[in-house]
Amino acid sequence: MRSLSLLNVLRPEVQADLYGYYDRLRDAGPCRWDRPLSAWVVTGHELVGQAARDPRLSSVRYPDLAAVEPELRPVAAVLSRQMLYVDPPDHPRLRGLVSKAFTARAIEALRAQITRTVDGILDRVLPHGGMEVVGDLAHPLPVTVICDLLGVPEADREQMRAWSADVAVVVGNPRLSDGERDAAVRSMAEMIAYFGTLSGRRTTGPEPDVLDALLRAQHDGAGLTVDEALANTVLLFMAGQETTTHFLGNAMRALLEHPDQAARLRAEPELWTTAVEELLRFDSPVQLMLRRAKQDVRLGDAEIQAGQAVLVVCGAANHDPGVFDTPRTLDLGRTGPRHVAFGHGPHFCLGAGLARLEGEVALRAMLTRLPGLRLSDAAPRWQRSLDFRGLTELRVRWDVVPG
Ligand code: HEM
């Protein structure tokens, strides 16, 4: 194989042994200059944590909007107002206001609805004895859940899904075709306009929902502009979709490839809390986070210079043998050091509670309701990406019990 580089992760044979390849990268240096990518690649658990916490490593994605190609600037302008892509003082201000709306109570209140949605999907497929997990469940569930949370009516959901798919292309892809770029710009504008209208319609509702709370923060003069409220609503809408889809797919595949662990979970349901964390660690949906040095920074033995990009590989940190005993073993009762599948530090995933809840409800329902559940395709098909780890499809079968 060519020189050691994170870029090789795009090759199918590396995807097939991703964590083995990360070991090679980490052995070559837990923070190492990657020439093909022109970036520092951080793969050691301790340095990943340090990098994610270091205020000198910036999350700002477009430091100079004027330098973005003019056609894409409207999308970049919205992304630049999202908490994920800002530093202090904007970051704590935006995150503080949004997290007031996105409370643990608001999320727990969704449990019954999530259970109903999952049961509805399983009721439909149960008699067929098989399903394609990604398309039938892992993809529709997060969209339904976030639409419930934001109060998007049933009739508008397909449209919302299409808009967000157009915009998502920009986020993970530096090389866009004209068609992709135009679609992203159009769909972002439509999504912003849609949330603007929806919020106008909803402020009089009897039960304040997340969107109401965000807009109230703006009305209360708490320092959130309308543009920021809408940009962060779009972030909430999008951040939990592909990520949760991959979580459900990867976790289900891991469980079916380790029948002993699936059996253990069926026998000891009190293991669900540690099981969800272990499944997130074992095959993390988000593999890396992007930072840029605002000034010279020493990280481990590396001398990072101002302006250089830093790729913080949480997927590799989660398999660091210096931190996790036998990291390639799936152990649903594992406790001990924390994984970084939801990131670390100030940008730690705001939707972690919701993702955990969706994972537990969906995986538990599949394991308990589908007798003899097993894989029906042998080789996993991975999406081609450095940022995400996810299956394009996952076919399973079960025994149909005559009723
Ligand atoms: C298993 C599913 C998920 C995974 C693996 C995941 C992973 C992550 C990671 C790694 C980050 C940190 C990014 C960085 O530091 O650059 C993040 C941030 C974020 N996530 Fe998630 N996420 C998931 C689900 C969700 C859901 C369901 C939502 C909301 C509905 C959500 C909303 C957010 C938001 C708003 C941020 C930005 C937080 C900030 O910048 O302060 N995520 N997520």
Question: Measuring CA to CA, which residue among 246, 237, 254 is closest to residue 138?
Answer: 246
Q: Does residue 354 surpass a pLDDT of 50?
A: yes
The runs of H, that is alpha helices, within 87-222 are 90-101, 104-108, 111-125, 133, 140-150, 157-171, 178-202, 210-219
What pLDDT sits at residue 217? 64
- What per-residue confidence (pLDDT) applies to 208? 53
Could you tell me the distance, in angstroms and rounded to a whole number, from the CA of residue 378 to the centre of ligand 1?
30
Q: Express each pLDDT in 216-273 by its tens digit.
A: 666 555 678 889 989 999 999 999 999 999 999 999 999 999 999 999 999 999 999 9
Based on C-alpha coordinates, what's the Rg of the chain?
Answer: 21
pLDDT score, position 351: 95
Q: Using CA of residue 9, residue 10, residue 12, residue 15, what is the dihedral sign? A: positive
Does 3 reside within a domain? no
pLDDT at 204: 47
In a domain, 28, yes or no: no
The span from the CA of 161 to the CA of 36, in Å, is 35
Check which CATH number belongs to the domain holding 55 and give it.
Answer: 1.10.630.10
Q: What percent of the chain has pLDDT over 70?
A: 93
If you average pLDDT over every residue of the chain, what do you get?
A: 92
With respect to residue 238, please indicate whether it lies within any of the assigned structural domains. Answer: yes
Which of these ranges, 117-121, 208-212, 331-335, 387-391, has the smallest mean pLDDT?
208-212
Residue 125 CA to ligand 1 centre (angstroms): 30
Confidence of residue 402 (pLDDT cuts 50, 70, 90): confident
Tokens of 390: 């996810």
Average pLDDT rounded to a whole number, residues 154-161: 92
Q: Is it the case that residue 40 has pLDDT exceeding 80?
A: yes
Kindly give the distance from the C-alpha atom of residue 403 to the centroid of ligand 1, in angstroms, as a whole number: 42
**Contact between residue 360 and residue 338 where contact means Cβ atoms under 8 Å apart:** no
pLDDT at 207 over 80: no
Both tokens of residue 198? 């929806």
Range of the domain at 384: 47-397
Q: Would 32 be classed as within a structural domain?
A: no
Number of domains the chain is built from: 1
Within-domain flag for 232: yes
Residue 150 within any structural domain of the chain: yes
Q: Which of 210, 349, 356, 389 to mutate to test the pocket of ligand 1 (most atoms within 8 A of CB)?
A: 349
The confidence score (pLDDT) of residue 224 equals 81
Query: With contact defined as beta carbons under 8 Å apart, do 210 and 105 qualify?
Result: no
In a domain, 31, yes or no: no
Q: What is the pLDDT of residues 171-204, one digit of tens each?
A: 766 678 889 999 999 999 999 999 888 876 654 4
pLDDT tens digit sequence for 61-98: 888 899 998 988 999 999 999 999 999 999 999 998 88
**Best mutation site among 42, 147, 342 for ligand 1 pocket (most ligand atoms within 8 Å of CB):** 342
pLDDT of 383 > 70? The answer is yes
Whether the predicted pLDDT of 289 surpasses 80? yes
What digits encode the pLDDT tens for the residues 87-146?
999 999 999 888 877 788 888 888 999 999 999 999 999 999 999 999 999 999 999 999
d(CA 88, CA 93): 8
The reply to whether ligand 1 has any atom less than 6 angstroms from the CB of 347 is: yes
Does any domain span residue 17?
Answer: no
Q: Is the CB of 164 under 6 A from ligand 1?
A: no
Please say if the pLDDT value at position 343 is more than 50: yes
Q: State percent of the chain over pLDDT 90.
A: 74
